[in-house]
Amino acid sequence: MEQRAVMAEPKIDDRVIEGCQRGDREAFRELFEAYKDKVFSIAVYSMSGDQAAASDVSQQIFLKLINSIRHFRGDSAFTTWLYRLVVNACIDEQRKRGRLLQLDDNPIETNHDRCPQERQFARLEVSEQVQTAINELTPKLRMPILLKYGEGLSYEEIAEVLECSMGTVSSRLNRGHQSLAKKLSHLRAQL
Amino acid sequence: MPVNFDSEYAVQVDREGTGRNACPTVEVWESEMVSKHVNEELSAYCNGALTTAESQQVAEHLIGCIQCRADFEQIKLGAKLAEQIPQFAAPASLWANIEAQLDTPVDVQPTVQLSGRYGQTHSGRMLRFAAIAAGLMLAIGIGALWLFTRESRPFWEVARLDGAPLVGSSRISDKGQLAVGEWLETDGASRAQIEVGTIGHVEVDPNTRVRLVETKPTEHRLELARGRMSAKIFAPPRLFFVNTPSGIAADLGCAYTLEVDDLGASLLHVTSGWVAMQLRDIESIVPAGASCATRPGIGPGTPYFADASESFKAALTKLDFDEGLTDDQRTAVLNQVIADARHRDTLTLWHLLYRVKGQQRERVFERMALLAPPPKEVTRDGCLQLDEKMLHLWKGYLENSWIGDSGFKKAGGKPVGGEQWAVGSRRKKWSLDGGHLPEVKKQ
C-alpha cells in the first residue's frame, strides 16, 4: 500500500455534513474522500500493520458513520466525533480479535520487498523504522501519537477523542516519545 | 493548557522502561533555582501545549536541571521521530465495497444548471460575462488560498522599534507577523524586534535581512543573510539556531550579537552564556566575552576573547582564514598566537589543538600545559592523539577561567559533563551537559 509522508487537512464544511445527514450519496463520497486515508492509517496502526484487516475496519467505520451521522448534533467538532468513532471501532475490532495488539503480535509489513532504488532513500528507511516502532507501542501509547502526529490534533482534542484528561494525554505522549527515542536513538543524526 | 494531573498521570510507573521517577539516582549537580522536576511536562512543552507562563517555568527549570534536560533531549528526539510517521493511502476498492453495502438510495441533488442556462442563450455577451465571472472567481479563490496558506503558517510576532521595517514587501506598523519563509528587512533607519516564540527575542539592527526558516517546539531557526542582530534566548541548549552564509550559530542558553557582511563572512560575539558556531563537522564553542569569525567556504574560525591582544587576534585571523600562507608563515603566525596567549586564551589554544598537526600541536599543548597544567588523568600523548575524553576533561577544568564573572560558572571547578565538543571532528556526547550551567551545587 502506498505510504505518504503528510496528508493535507480535509476540508469538510457543514454543507457536506448536512448532505450526509440527509442521506446524500455524493456528500458521503465527499466525506469519504476527505477522510479515507486518515481513517485507514489509524486502522493500519491499530491492526498492527495488517492492511487487509485495516481495510475491513475502515469499511465498518464508514458504514457506521453513514448510519450514525444523523445523530451528530455539532456539540463537538466533527473531526472529534469522527475520530472517537474511529478509535472506538479500532478498539472493538482489537477486542473482537481476542487480543490487545502487542509487540510481535503481528509485525507490521515493513516493505522489505521494496525495490533497491527505493531503499536507497534514507528518509523512507527512517519512516519505516518509525512505523515499526510506533506499531510496537502499546495501544494506549500509540493512539495519542497517531492522533497528534498523524492527524495533527491538539492535546485538548486528543483528550476529547480518547475521553480522558489532558494530563493523561500529556503523560502518554511523554512515554510514547521516550519509547520511540529509546528504540530509534541511532536515527538521531538523520533527523 | 492547565494540565490536569489525574491518577494515571501522577503514578507514572515505568512499565515500559520509558518513564522514570523524578528522583535522581546518580550523582547530579543542579542549580539553586531548580525546584520541582518537570519531566512530566516535557512533551507538552515540546509540543507548545503549555501556557506561556508554564513554558517559561519549564524552560527555567531545564536550564538549571541536568536530569530534566537529558529527558528533554530524549523527548525532543521522540517528537522528531514521531513527526516522521508515515501515513497510508486507503485501497482504491474501499469505496466500492462500502457502496455495495449501502441500501440507501442515491439522493440525486438538483445540479446547478449554469452550463444549460448559458448554453440556451448562446449570447457572446453572456459568454464574456461568464468568462469574466469565472476569472474573478478564480482570482478570489487564489487570493483566499494564499490567505489561508499564509495564515496557517506558523509565525513570530514582530514589533517595529524604529523606521519602517518590511516583512515581505509590506511595511509593518507597530506590530506585525513574520511567517515561516518570510523575510524581514530593515533599511538604514529602521530596526525591529522579533519574539522567538516564548523563549526569547531577537533585535534586528538597520540594514539587515533576516528570514524565519522554521519554528516548531523542537527547533526555532532564523537565517541572517546580511546585517546585524542581537539575540537573548532563555531556553535549553540547541533549540534556537541562526543560519549565516558561512556557519550556523546554535544557542546554548545565552545572549549574543551576530553580524554578516555582504561577502557572507560573519562575526559572533557572545555576551552571556554559550553559543556553538558550526559548519559541517567544524564547531567552535564560544563563551561570554568571546568572539568567533566565520568565512564562506571555510566555516568557523577559532574562538578568542575580545580582550586578547591585538597581535594575538591578528595572528589568529591569519591562521584561520589566510589560505595562501606558506608553511613558514603559518608557523610564524602560530608562534605569535602561542607567545601572546594568556591563561584565559587557553580557550583558543584548546580549540587549536584540533586544528593544527604534528609539531605545531605539540607546541600548542606545551603552552597550554604551562598556562594551565592538565589534571592528572590527562596525558600529553592522549592530548596529542586528540583523545576526546581527556581533552574534554581538561576543558572542564579550564572553563571557569574562560567564563570568568559572566554568571555561568560551575562550582568547584569540577566539570559537570554533558555535550562534548570535538572541534574539527564530529560532536560526541558522553555525559549530561557541557558544564554550561549557572552556579551549581551538589545535592
Q: Bigger pLDDT: A148 or B137?
A: A148
Residue A14: what pLDDT?
83
Hey, what's the torsion of the CAs at B131, B134, B135, B140, to 10 degrees?
160
**Is B73 part of any domain?**
yes
> Which residues of chain B neighbour A118 with C-beta distances below 8 Å?
none
Which residues contact residue B150 at a Cβ distance below 8 angstroms, ignoring those fewer than 6 apart? B179
Residue type, B4: N
Using a CB–CB cutoff of 8 Å, tell me whether B104 touches chain A.
yes
Using a CB–CB cutoff of 8 Å, tell me whether B87 touches chain A.
yes
In chain B, % of residues over pLDDT 70? 72
Reported as type and span, the H/E element at residue A125 is helix A122-135
For chain B, how many structural domains are there in total?
3
Using a CB–CB cutoff of 8 Å, tell me whether B89 touches chain A.
yes
ipTM above 0.85, yes or no: no
Of the three residues B105, B134, B152, the one that is the final residue of a domain is B152
8-state DSSP, A93:
H
C-alpha cell at B66: 541536568
Cα distance from A128 to chain B (closest Cα, Å)? 8
> Which residues of chain B neighbour A177 with C-beta distances below 8 Å?
42-43, 46, 74-75, 77-79, 81-82
Q: Say whether B49 and A155 touch across the interface (CB within 8 A).
A: yes
CATH of region A119-191, choose from 1.10.3720.10, 1.10.357.10, 3.90.105.10, 1.10.10.10: 1.10.10.10
At A173, is the pLDDT very low, low, confident or very high (cuts 50, 70, 90)?
very high
Residues 38-67 of B with CB under 8 A from A: 39-44, 46-47, 49
Summarised one tens digit per residue, pLDDT across range B375-387 is 999 999 999 999 9
Whether residue B306 is found in the same domain as residue B361: yes
> Which residues of chain B neighbour A173 with C-beta distances below 8 Å?
43-44, 47
Summarised one tens digit per residue, pLDDT across range B25-81 is 233 333 334 468 888 888 888 887 888 778 777 877 877 777 888 888 899 899 989
Q: Where in chain A are all domains bearing CATH 1.10.10.10?
A: 119-191
What residues does B228 pair with on adjacent strands? Answer: B259
Host domain of residue B47: 7-82
> Which residues of chain A neighbour B82 with C-beta distances below 8 Å?
130, 134, 145, 148-149, 176-177, 180
At A37, is the pLDDT very low, low, confident or very high (cuts 50, 70, 90)?
very high
At A67, is the pLDDT very low, low, confident or very high (cuts 50, 70, 90)?
confident
Q: Say whether A51 and B88 touch across the interface (CB within 8 A).
A: yes
Cα distance from A157 to chain B (closest Cα, Å)? 12
Tell me: pLDDT of B21 over 80: no
Q: Bigger pLDDT: B103 or B432?
A: B103
Whether residue B123 is found in the same domain as residue B200: no
Using a CB–CB cutoff of 8 Å, tell me whether B7 touches chain A.
no
Based on its alpha-carbon atoms, the radius of gyration of chain B, rounded to whole angstroms, reads 28
Using a CB–CB cutoff of 8 Å, tell me whether B79 touches chain A.
yes
Whats the size of chain B, residue-wise? Answer: 443
Instruction: Name, of B85-89, B114-118, B122-126, the range with top average pLDDT.
Output: B85-89
Closest chain B residue to A4, measured at CA: B87
Q: Say whether A126 and B84 touch across the interface (CB within 8 A).
A: yes
Instruction: Name, of A117-126, B2-11, B72-81, B345-354, the range with top average pLDDT.
Output: B345-354
Compute the average pLDDT of residues A66-90: 87
Based on its alpha-carbon atoms, the radius of gyration of chain A, rounded to whole angstroms, reads 17
> Which residues of chain A neighbour B109 with C-beta distances below 8 Å?
19, 24, 26
Whether residue B76 is found in the same domain as residue B199: no
Q: How many CB atoms lie within 10 A of CB B312?
A: 20
Whether residue B207 is found in the same domain as residue B334: yes
How many interface pairs between A and B have CB atoms less than 8 angstroms apart?
Answer: 198
User: Do residues A184 and A129 make contact, with C-beta atoms less than 8 angstroms apart?
Assistant: yes
Residue B165: what pLDDT?
95
- Across B89-93, B146-150, B359-363, least confident range: B146-150
**Is B51 part of any domain?**
yes
What residues does B159 pair with on adjacent strands? Answer: B175, B193
**Is B215 part of any domain?**
yes
Whether residue B133 is found in the same domain as residue B220: no
Summarised one tens digit per residue, pLDDT across range B315-356 is 999 999 998 999 899 999 999 999 999 999 999 999 999 999
Which residues contact residue B399 at a Cβ distance below 8 angstroms, ignoring those fewer than 6 apart? B287, B410, B415, B435
Whether residue B309 is found in the same domain as residue B359: yes
Residue B70: what pLDDT?
85
Whether residue B304 is found in the same domain as residue B435: yes
Average pLDDT over all residues of chain A: 80
Q: Give the closest of A55, A149, A164 to B83, CB-based.
A: A149
Phi/psi of residue B211, nearest 5 degrees: -125, 140
User: Do residues B430 and B416 make contact, with C-beta atoms less than 8 angstroms apart?
Assistant: no
Tell me: pLDDT of B120 over 60: no
Phi/psi of residue B326, nearest 5 degrees: -80, 170
Q: Is the pTM of this model over 0.80?
A: no
Q: Say whether A2 and B78 touch across the interface (CB within 8 A).
A: no
C-alpha cell at B416: 559537570
In angstroms, rounded to a whole number, what is the distance separating the alpha carbons of residues B93 and A36?
Answer: 11
Q: Give the closest of A19, A173, A184 to B81, CB-based.
A: A184
Whether residue B148 is found in the same domain as residue B162: no
Compute the average pLDDT of residues B433-442: 29
Summarised one tens digit per residue, pLDDT across range B193-220 is 999 877 889 999 999 999 999 887 778 8
Handedness of CA B372, B378, B380, B382 (dihedral sign): negative
Q: Say whether A1 and B42 touch across the interface (CB within 8 A).
A: no
Residue B218: what pLDDT?
74
> Which residues of chain B neighbour A130 with C-beta distances below 8 Å?
81-82, 84-86
User: Which residue of A174, A182, A185, A190 to mutate against B (max B Cβ within 10 Å)?
Assistant: A174
Summarised one tens digit per residue, pLDDT across range B356-374 is 999 999 999 999 999 999 9
Tell me: pLDDT of B148 over 80: no
How far CA B327 is from CA of A87, B102, B330, in Å, comes to 70, 84, 5
Residue A101: what pLDDT?
43
Q: Where in chain A are all domains bearing CATH 1.10.1740.10?
A: 12-101
> Which residues of chain A neighbour B106 with C-beta distances below 8 Å?
25-26
Tell me: pLDDT of A135 over 90: no
Closest chain B residue to A20, measured at CA: B107
Whether residue B49 is found in the same domain as residue B134: no
Using a CB–CB cutoff of 8 Å, tell me whether B136 touches chain A.
no
Summarised one tens digit per residue, pLDDT across range B165-189 is 999 888 988 899 999 899 999 999 9
User: Which residue of A20, A57, A171, A191 to mutate against B (max B Cβ within 10 Å)?
Assistant: A171
Cα distance from A38 to chain B (closest Cα, Å)? 7
CATH topology of domain A12-101: Rna Polymerase Sigma Factor; Chain: A (1.10.1740)
At B103, is the pLDDT very low, low, confident or very high (cuts 50, 70, 90)?
low
Residue A118: what pLDDT?
39
Residue B109: what pLDDT?
39
Residue B430: what pLDDT?
26
Phi/psi of residue B45, nearest 5 degrees: -65, -45
8-state DSSP, A146:
I
**Is B422 part of any domain?**
yes
Using a CB–CB cutoff of 8 Å, tell me whether B272 touches chain A.
no
Using a CB–CB cutoff of 8 Å, tell me whether B102 touches chain A.
yes
- Across B13-22, B74-83, B310-319, least confident range: B13-22
Q: Give the closest of A123, A127, A176 to B78, CB-based.
A: A176
Residue A172: what pLDDT?
94
Of the three residues B65, B82, B99, the one that is the final residue of a domain is B82
